[in-house]
Protein backbone atom coordinates (compact mmCIF):
# COMPACT_ATOMS: atom_id res chain seq x y z
CA UNK A 1 0.00 0.00 0.00
CA UNK A 2 1.09 3.56 -0.65
CA UNK A 3 0.26 6.73 1.19
CA UNK A 4 0.41 10.06 -0.58
CA UNK A 5 -1.21 12.53 1.77
CA UNK A 6 0.52 15.54 3.31
CA UNK A 7 0.14 16.82 6.85
CA UNK A 8 -1.34 20.27 7.11
CA UNK A 9 -3.50 20.03 3.97
CA UNK A 10 -7.23 20.31 4.21
CA UNK A 11 -7.79 17.19 2.09
CA UNK A 12 -5.98 13.89 2.57
CA UNK A 13 -6.28 10.51 0.93
CA UNK A 14 -8.23 7.71 2.55
CA UNK A 15 -9.72 4.50 1.31
CA UNK A 16 -10.62 0.96 2.29
CA UNK A 17 -10.32 0.55 6.04
CA UNK A 18 -9.74 4.29 6.37
CA UNK A 19 -12.85 5.25 4.44
CA UNK A 20 -14.73 6.80 7.35
CA UNK A 21 -11.90 8.47 9.28
CA UNK A 22 -8.79 10.53 8.79
CA UNK A 23 -5.64 8.40 8.52
CA UNK A 24 -3.76 8.31 11.81
CA UNK A 25 -0.35 8.22 10.18
CA UNK A 26 1.33 7.83 6.81
CA UNK A 27 0.97 4.04 6.83
CA UNK A 28 -2.80 4.13 7.29
CA UNK A 29 -3.64 4.56 3.61
CA UNK A 30 -4.91 2.27 0.88
CA UNK A 31 -4.74 2.81 -2.88
CA UNK A 32 -6.27 6.29 -3.11
CA UNK A 33 -9.65 6.55 -4.73
CA UNK A 34 -11.29 8.77 -2.14
CA UNK A 35 -10.56 12.11 -0.56
CA UNK A 36 -11.04 13.16 3.06
CA UNK A 37 -12.83 16.49 3.26
CA UNK A 38 -12.60 18.18 6.65
CA UNK A 39 -15.27 20.62 5.54
CA UNK A 40 -17.87 17.89 5.02
CA UNK A 41 -18.16 16.46 8.50
CA UNK A 42 -14.87 14.61 8.30
CA UNK A 43 -16.07 11.95 5.86
CA UNK A 44 -14.56 10.56 2.69
CA UNK A 45 -16.07 11.02 -0.71
CA UNK A 46 -15.17 9.15 -3.87
CA UNK A 47 -13.46 11.08 -6.65
CA UNK A 48 -15.35 11.15 -9.97
CA UNK A 49 -13.39 10.21 -13.07
CA UNK A 50 -11.49 13.19 -14.44
CA UNK A 51 -12.58 15.45 -11.59
CA UNK A 52 -10.61 18.60 -10.87
CA UNK A 53 -9.38 18.73 -7.30
CA UNK A 54 -7.15 21.75 -7.87
CA UNK A 55 -3.58 21.99 -9.13
CA UNK A 56 -1.17 19.52 -7.61
CA UNK A 57 -3.73 17.93 -5.29
CA UNK A 58 -2.15 14.76 -3.91
CA UNK A 59 -5.24 12.64 -4.51
CA UNK A 60 -5.27 13.36 -8.25
CA UNK A 61 -1.53 12.93 -8.58
CA UNK A 62 -1.54 9.61 -6.71
CA UNK A 63 -4.58 8.27 -8.55
CA UNK A 64 -2.87 8.92 -11.86
CA UNK A 65 0.25 7.11 -10.73
CA UNK A 66 -0.90 4.26 -8.51
CA UNK A 67 -0.98 1.70 -11.33
CA UNK A 68 2.46 2.58 -12.73
CA UNK A 69 5.64 0.65 -12.02
CA UNK A 70 8.33 2.10 -9.75
CA UNK A 71 11.95 1.20 -10.26
CA UNK A 72 15.30 2.75 -9.46
CA UNK A 73 16.39 5.73 -11.55
CA UNK A 74 20.10 6.49 -11.89
CA UNK A 75 21.59 9.07 -11.43
CA UNK A 76 18.55 11.11 -10.32
CA UNK A 77 17.01 8.96 -7.61
CA UNK A 78 17.97 9.23 -3.97
CA UNK A 79 17.20 6.73 -1.25
CA UNK A 80 13.77 8.15 -0.50
CA UNK A 81 12.65 9.03 -4.03
CA UNK A 82 9.53 7.40 -5.45
CA UNK A 83 10.33 6.55 -9.05
CA UNK A 84 7.96 6.26 -11.98
CA UNK A 85 9.19 4.48 -15.09
CA UNK A 86 8.09 5.37 -18.62
CA UNK A 87 5.07 3.41 -19.76
CA UNK A 88 5.20 1.06 -22.74
CA UNK A 89 3.13 2.25 -25.69
CA UNK A 90 0.61 -0.38 -26.74
CA UNK A 91 -1.81 1.59 -28.89
CA UNK A 92 -1.56 1.90 -32.71
CA UNK A 93 -1.34 5.69 -32.62
CA UNK A 94 0.98 6.13 -35.59
CA UNK A 95 -1.78 6.10 -38.19
CA UNK A 96 -2.76 9.57 -39.48
CA UNK A 97 -6.40 9.15 -38.48
CA UNK A 98 -5.66 8.17 -34.90
CA UNK A 99 -3.03 10.90 -34.63
CA UNK A 100 -5.50 13.53 -35.82
CA UNK A 101 -8.23 12.35 -33.46
CA UNK A 102 -5.81 12.21 -30.57
CA UNK A 103 -4.61 15.73 -31.29
CA UNK A 104 -8.18 17.02 -31.34
CA UNK A 105 -9.04 15.19 -28.12
CA UNK A 106 -5.91 16.42 -26.35
CA UNK A 107 -6.46 20.03 -27.44
CA UNK A 108 -10.06 19.98 -26.24
CA UNK A 109 -9.24 18.40 -22.90
CA UNK A 110 -6.12 20.44 -22.20
CA UNK A 111 -8.18 23.61 -22.53
CA UNK A 112 -10.43 22.46 -19.66
CA UNK A 113 -9.85 21.56 -16.05
CA UNK A 114 -9.42 17.82 -16.46
CA UNK A 115 -5.98 16.25 -16.80
CA UNK A 116 -7.31 13.48 -19.05
CA UNK A 117 -6.08 15.18 -22.24
CA UNK A 118 -2.61 15.61 -20.77
CA UNK A 119 -2.65 11.96 -19.70
CA UNK A 120 -3.50 10.94 -23.27
CA UNK A 121 -0.46 12.80 -24.60
CA UNK A 122 1.79 11.51 -21.84
CA UNK A 123 0.80 7.86 -22.18
CA UNK A 124 0.80 7.71 -25.97
CA UNK A 125 4.14 9.46 -26.24
CA UNK A 126 5.91 7.89 -23.26
CA UNK A 127 9.40 6.58 -23.85
CA UNK A 128 10.57 3.42 -22.15
CA UNK A 129 13.96 5.11 -21.74
CA UNK A 130 12.66 8.14 -19.81
CA UNK A 131 12.01 7.82 -16.09
CA UNK A 132 10.56 10.31 -13.65
CA UNK A 133 11.17 11.21 -10.04
CA UNK A 134 8.06 13.11 -8.86
CA UNK A 135 7.32 15.37 -5.92
CA UNK A 136 10.75 16.74 -5.09
CA UNK A 137 10.31 19.53 -2.52
CA UNK A 138 12.15 22.83 -2.88
CA UNK A 139 10.22 24.64 -0.14
CA UNK A 140 7.80 24.05 2.75
CA UNK A 141 4.55 24.83 0.90
CA UNK A 142 2.67 21.87 -0.66
CA UNK A 143 2.96 23.58 -4.07
CA UNK A 144 6.71 24.08 -3.79
CA UNK A 145 7.86 20.89 -5.51
CA UNK A 146 9.12 19.76 -8.89
CA UNK A 147 8.99 16.60 -11.00
CA UNK A 148 12.16 15.36 -12.70
CA UNK A 149 12.49 13.57 -16.04
CA UNK A 150 15.62 12.08 -17.61
CA UNK A 151 16.71 9.29 -19.88
CA UNK A 152 18.63 6.45 -18.33
CA UNK A 153 22.34 7.02 -18.79
CA UNK A 154 21.91 10.76 -19.38
CA UNK A 155 25.21 12.51 -20.18
CA UNK A 156 27.18 14.16 -17.40
CA UNK A 157 26.99 17.49 -19.26
CA UNK A 158 23.33 17.17 -20.31
CA UNK A 159 21.30 20.40 -20.45
CA UNK A 160 19.12 21.13 -17.43
CA UNK A 161 15.72 22.47 -18.55
CA UNK A 162 13.46 24.05 -15.94
CA UNK A 163 10.03 24.25 -17.57
CA UNK A 164 7.24 26.21 -15.82
CA UNK A 165 3.63 25.19 -16.46
CA UNK A 166 0.93 27.55 -17.66
CA UNK A 167 -2.49 28.27 -16.20
CA UNK A 168 -3.02 32.05 -15.92
CA UNK A 169 -1.13 32.15 -12.58
CA UNK A 170 -4.20 30.78 -10.76
CA UNK A 171 -4.43 27.21 -12.05
CA UNK A 172 -2.43 24.44 -13.72
CA UNK A 173 0.15 21.98 -12.43
CA UNK A 174 3.16 19.96 -13.61
CA UNK A 175 0.82 16.98 -14.11
CA UNK A 176 -0.71 18.72 -17.12
CA UNK A 177 2.73 18.94 -18.75
CA UNK A 178 4.02 15.43 -18.14
CA UNK A 179 4.19 14.94 -21.91
CA UNK A 180 6.48 17.98 -22.15
CA UNK A 181 8.78 16.64 -19.45
CA UNK A 182 9.01 13.29 -21.21
CA UNK A 183 9.65 14.82 -24.64
CA UNK A 184 12.25 17.32 -23.48
CA UNK A 185 14.06 14.63 -21.51
CA UNK A 186 14.12 12.47 -24.65
CA UNK A 187 16.24 15.20 -26.26
CA UNK A 188 19.00 14.18 -23.87
CA UNK A 189 18.27 16.70 -21.14
CA UNK A 190 17.42 16.61 -17.45
CA UNK A 191 14.01 18.27 -17.33
CA UNK A 192 12.30 19.64 -14.23
CA UNK A 193 8.67 20.77 -14.04
CA UNK A 194 8.22 22.97 -10.96
CA UNK A 195 4.92 23.75 -9.32
CA UNK A 196 4.47 27.13 -7.69
CA UNK A 197 1.98 28.89 -5.44
CA UNK A 198 -1.09 30.19 -7.23
CA UNK A 199 -3.64 32.97 -6.94
CA UNK A 200 -5.82 33.70 -5.06
CA UNK A 201 -3.60 32.30 -2.32
CA UNK A 202 -0.76 34.58 -3.42
CA UNK A 203 -0.24 37.50 -5.77
CA UNK A 204 2.69 38.70 -7.87
CA UNK A 205 5.61 38.35 -7.27
CA UNK A 206 5.19 35.26 -5.04
CA UNK A 207 5.09 32.80 -7.94
CA UNK A 208 8.21 34.36 -9.47
CA UNK A 209 9.97 34.03 -6.12
CA UNK A 210 8.93 30.38 -6.08
CA UNK A 211 10.36 29.97 -9.55
CA UNK A 212 13.69 31.41 -8.42
CA UNK A 213 13.77 29.09 -5.41
CA UNK A 214 13.08 26.07 -7.64
CA UNK A 215 15.83 27.07 -10.08
CA UNK A 216 18.32 27.55 -7.24
CA UNK A 217 17.47 24.14 -5.76
CA UNK A 218 17.95 22.45 -9.13
CA UNK A 219 21.15 24.37 -9.84
CA UNK A 220 22.54 23.14 -6.52
CA UNK A 221 21.44 19.57 -7.29
CA UNK A 222 22.91 19.56 -10.82
CA UNK A 223 25.82 22.01 -10.79
CA UNK A 224 27.65 22.66 -14.02
CA UNK A 225 24.86 21.56 -16.37
CA UNK A 226 23.87 24.14 -19.01
CA UNK A 227 20.75 25.73 -17.52
CA UNK A 228 17.75 26.63 -19.68
CA UNK A 229 14.68 28.37 -18.28
CA UNK A 230 11.49 27.64 -20.19
CA UNK A 231 7.74 27.72 -19.91
CA UNK A 232 4.37 27.90 -21.60
CA UNK A 233 1.93 30.81 -21.23
CA UNK A 234 2.07 32.09 -17.62
CA UNK A 235 5.05 29.81 -17.10
CA UNK A 236 6.86 31.56 -19.95
CA UNK A 237 6.29 34.91 -18.23
CA UNK A 238 7.83 33.51 -15.03
CA UNK A 239 10.82 32.06 -16.89
CA UNK A 240 11.28 35.34 -18.80
CA UNK A 241 11.37 37.42 -15.62
CA UNK A 242 13.88 35.04 -14.03
CA UNK A 243 16.08 35.42 -17.12
CA UNK A 244 15.74 39.15 -17.75
CA UNK A 245 15.30 40.73 -14.30
CA UNK A 246 18.37 39.81 -12.23
CA UNK A 247 16.79 40.56 -8.85
CA UNK A 248 14.92 37.24 -8.63
CA UNK A 249 17.82 34.84 -9.17
CA UNK A 250 20.11 37.34 -7.47
CA UNK A 251 18.18 36.77 -4.25
CA UNK A 252 19.24 33.11 -4.57
CA UNK A 253 22.92 33.90 -5.17
CA UNK A 254 22.70 33.38 -8.94
CA UNK A 255 23.32 35.67 -11.91
CA UNK A 256 21.27 35.10 -15.09
CA UNK A 257 24.01 36.30 -17.42
CA UNK A 258 26.52 33.98 -15.78
CA UNK A 259 24.40 30.95 -14.89
CA UNK A 260 21.58 30.76 -17.47
CA UNK A 261 22.43 29.34 -20.88
CA UNK A 262 19.17 30.40 -22.51
CA UNK A 263 15.46 31.20 -22.28
CA UNK A 264 12.75 29.28 -24.15
CA UNK A 265 9.29 30.83 -24.20
CA UNK A 266 6.14 29.23 -25.65
CA UNK A 267 3.18 31.59 -26.14
CA UNK A 268 4.30 33.83 -23.30
CA UNK A 269 2.63 37.08 -22.16
CA UNK A 270 5.55 39.50 -22.02
CA UNK A 271 3.82 42.86 -22.53
CA UNK A 272 0.24 42.72 -21.24
CA UNK A 273 -0.49 46.09 -19.69
CA UNK A 274 -2.90 47.73 -19.16
CA UNK A 275 -4.94 44.98 -17.51
CA UNK A 276 -8.56 44.85 -18.59
CA UNK A 277 -9.80 41.96 -16.45
CA UNK A 278 -10.40 42.19 -12.70
CA UNK A 279 -9.12 38.64 -12.40
CA UNK A 280 -5.64 39.76 -13.42
CA UNK A 281 -5.80 43.06 -11.54
CA UNK A 282 -6.14 41.02 -8.38
CA UNK A 283 -3.21 38.77 -9.32
CA UNK A 284 -0.96 41.72 -10.20
CA UNK A 285 -1.40 44.47 -7.57
CA UNK A 286 -0.98 47.98 -8.86
CA UNK A 287 2.01 48.69 -6.62
CA UNK A 288 4.14 46.00 -8.32
CA UNK A 289 2.35 45.67 -11.66
CA UNK A 290 4.99 47.40 -13.77
CA UNK A 291 7.61 44.93 -12.54
CA UNK A 292 5.59 42.01 -13.95
CA UNK A 293 6.33 42.87 -17.59
CA UNK A 294 9.34 41.00 -19.04
CA UNK A 295 9.62 43.49 -21.89
CA UNK A 296 10.49 46.21 -19.36
CA UNK A 297 13.80 44.44 -18.70
CA UNK A 298 14.80 43.69 -22.30
CA UNK A 299 17.58 46.28 -22.50
CA UNK A 300 21.15 45.17 -22.08
CA UNK A 301 22.75 41.80 -22.85
CA UNK A 302 20.85 38.73 -21.67
CA UNK A 303 21.11 34.98 -22.22
CA UNK A 304 19.97 34.01 -25.73
CA UNK A 305 16.24 33.58 -26.22
CA UNK A 306 14.04 31.29 -28.29
CA UNK A 307 10.50 32.65 -28.65
CA UNK A 308 7.86 30.30 -30.11
CA UNK A 309 4.24 31.34 -30.73
CA UNK A 310 1.21 30.16 -32.64
CA UNK A 311 0.02 32.67 -35.21
CA UNK A 312 -3.60 31.80 -34.40
CA UNK A 313 -3.21 32.30 -30.64
CA UNK A 314 -6.12 34.36 -29.30
CA UNK A 315 -5.34 33.86 -25.60
CA UNK A 316 -1.92 35.50 -25.73
CA UNK A 317 -1.46 37.47 -28.94
CA UNK A 318 1.66 36.69 -31.04
CA UNK A 319 2.47 40.39 -30.73
CA UNK A 320 3.83 39.67 -27.24
CA UNK A 321 6.58 37.48 -28.67
CA UNK A 322 7.35 39.70 -31.64
CA UNK A 323 7.58 42.80 -29.41
CA UNK A 324 9.91 41.07 -26.96
CA UNK A 325 12.05 39.75 -29.81
CA UNK A 326 12.52 43.28 -31.20
CA UNK A 327 13.33 44.70 -27.77
CA UNK A 328 15.85 41.96 -26.96
CA UNK A 329 17.53 42.29 -30.32
CA UNK A 330 17.79 46.05 -29.92
CA UNK A 331 19.50 45.50 -26.58
CA UNK A 332 22.11 43.18 -28.03
CA UNK A 333 20.62 39.82 -27.04
CA UNK A 334 20.69 36.90 -29.47
CA UNK A 335 17.08 35.99 -30.15
CA UNK A 336 15.26 33.53 -32.40
CA UNK A 337 11.55 34.08 -33.12
CA UNK A 338 9.29 31.45 -34.69
CA UNK A 339 5.60 31.98 -35.50
CA UNK A 340 3.68 28.86 -36.53
CA UNK A 341 0.61 29.18 -38.79
CA UNK A 342 -2.54 27.32 -37.80
CA UNK A 343 -1.42 26.87 -34.19
CA UNK A 344 -3.21 28.38 -31.21
CA UNK A 345 -2.41 28.73 -27.55
CA UNK A 346 -2.83 25.06 -26.60
CA UNK A 347 -1.58 23.77 -29.94
CA UNK A 348 1.95 25.06 -29.51
CA UNK A 349 2.25 23.29 -26.14
CA UNK A 350 0.75 20.03 -27.36
CA UNK A 351 3.22 20.07 -30.27
CA UNK A 352 5.83 19.11 -27.67
CA UNK A 353 4.24 15.66 -27.52
CA UNK A 354 5.89 13.13 -29.88
CA UNK A 355 2.51 12.06 -31.24
CA UNK A 356 1.81 15.67 -32.35
CA UNK A 357 5.29 16.89 -33.26
CA UNK A 358 4.26 16.96 -36.93
CA UNK A 359 2.05 19.98 -36.22
CA UNK A 360 5.11 22.22 -35.75
CA UNK A 361 8.85 21.62 -35.26
CA UNK A 362 8.79 22.89 -31.67
CA UNK A 363 10.94 20.07 -30.29
CA UNK A 364 13.40 20.36 -33.18
CA UNK A 365 13.71 24.13 -32.60
CA UNK A 366 14.42 23.62 -28.91
CA UNK A 367 16.95 20.89 -29.62
CA UNK A 368 18.74 23.09 -32.17
CA UNK A 369 18.68 26.10 -29.85
CA UNK A 370 20.38 24.18 -27.05
CA UNK A 371 23.14 22.93 -29.33
CA UNK A 372 23.86 26.12 -31.31
CA UNK A 373 24.51 28.97 -28.90
CA UNK A 374 25.71 32.48 -29.80
CA UNK A 375 29.34 33.07 -30.69
CA UNK A 376 29.83 35.39 -27.69
CA UNK A 377 28.53 34.33 -24.26
CA UNK A 378 26.19 36.65 -22.40
CA UNK A 379 28.71 37.26 -19.61
CA UNK A 380 31.43 38.27 -22.12
CA UNK A 381 29.06 40.67 -23.87
CA UNK A 382 28.09 42.19 -20.52
CA UNK A 383 31.75 42.71 -19.62
CA UNK A 384 32.42 44.32 -22.97
pLDDT band at 121 (very low <50, low <70, confident <90, very high): low
Between helices 116-124 and 178-185, what is the axis angle to 10°? 20
Amino acid 114: pLDDT: 47
Q: What is the pLDDT of residue 213?
A: 98
Query: Is residue 39 scored above 70 in pLDDT?
Result: no
E strands, 138-284, are 145-151, 160-164, 190-194, 227-232, 260-266
pLDDT digits (tens, 9 = 90+) for 237-259: 999 999 999 999 999 999 999 99
Structural domains of the chain sorted by starting position, each given as residue range(s) with its CATH number in brackets: 11-63 (no CATH), 86-383 (3.40.50.1820)
Q: Check residue 211 and give its pLDDT.
A: 98
Note the pLDDT of residue 50: 33
Confidence bin at 315 (pLDDT 50/70/90): very high
Better-predicted residue by pLDDT, 234 or 77: 234
Q: Residue 245: its pLDDT value, please?
A: 98
Spatial separation of the C-alpha atoms in residues 336 and 94, rounded to whole Å: 31
Residues 35, 13: contact at Cβ < 8 Å? yes
pLDDT computed for residue 59 by the predictor: 41
Residue 283 confidence (pLDDT) above 70: yes
Angle 224-228-233 from CA coordinates, rounded to 5°? 155
**pLDDT of residue 27 exceeding 50:** no
Longest Cα–Cα distance of the chain, Å, equals: 68
Query: To 10 degrees, what angle do helices 234-244 and 206-221 make?
Result: 70
Assign 35 a pLDDT band (cuts: 50, 70, 90).
Answer: very low
State pLDDT tens for residues 336-383: 999 999 899 999 999 998 888 788 999 999 999 998 866 556 765 555
Specify the pLDDT at position 300.
86
Mean per-residue pLDDT, 89-106: 47
Tens digit of pLDDT for each residue in 161-205?
999 999 999 999 999 999 999 999 999 999 999 999 999 999 999
pLDDT > 90: percent of the chain? 59
Q: What is the DSSP string of 297-332?
A: G-SS--S-EEEEEETT-SSS-THHHHHHHHHHHHTT
Does the pLDDT value for residue 85 go beyond 70?
Answer: no
Q: In this predicted structure, what is the pLDDT of residue 372?
A: 82
Query: In whole numbers, what is the pLDDT of the chain averaged over residues?
Result: 76
Pairing of strands 227-232, 160-164: parallel
Residue 157 confidence (pLDDT): 93
The pLDDT of residue 129? 86
Please give the pLDDT value at position 303.
97
Average pLDDT over residues 51-72: 38
pLDDT at 100: 53
Distance CA 52, CA 107 (A): 17
Average pLDDT over residues 113-142: 74
**pLDDT the model gives residue 237:** 98
Amino acid sequence: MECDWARGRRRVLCSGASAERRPADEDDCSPPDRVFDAGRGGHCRRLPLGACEGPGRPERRAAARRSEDRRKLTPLAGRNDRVRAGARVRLPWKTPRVRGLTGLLASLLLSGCTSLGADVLAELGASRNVDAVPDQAYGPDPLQYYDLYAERGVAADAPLIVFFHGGSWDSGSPDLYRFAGQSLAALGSITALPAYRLAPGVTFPAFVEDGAAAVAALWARFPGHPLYLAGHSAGAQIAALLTLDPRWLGAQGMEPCRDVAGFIGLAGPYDFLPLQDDRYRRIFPEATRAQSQPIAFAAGPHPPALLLHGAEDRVVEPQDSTALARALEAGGTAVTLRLYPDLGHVGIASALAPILKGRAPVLAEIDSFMHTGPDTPCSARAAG
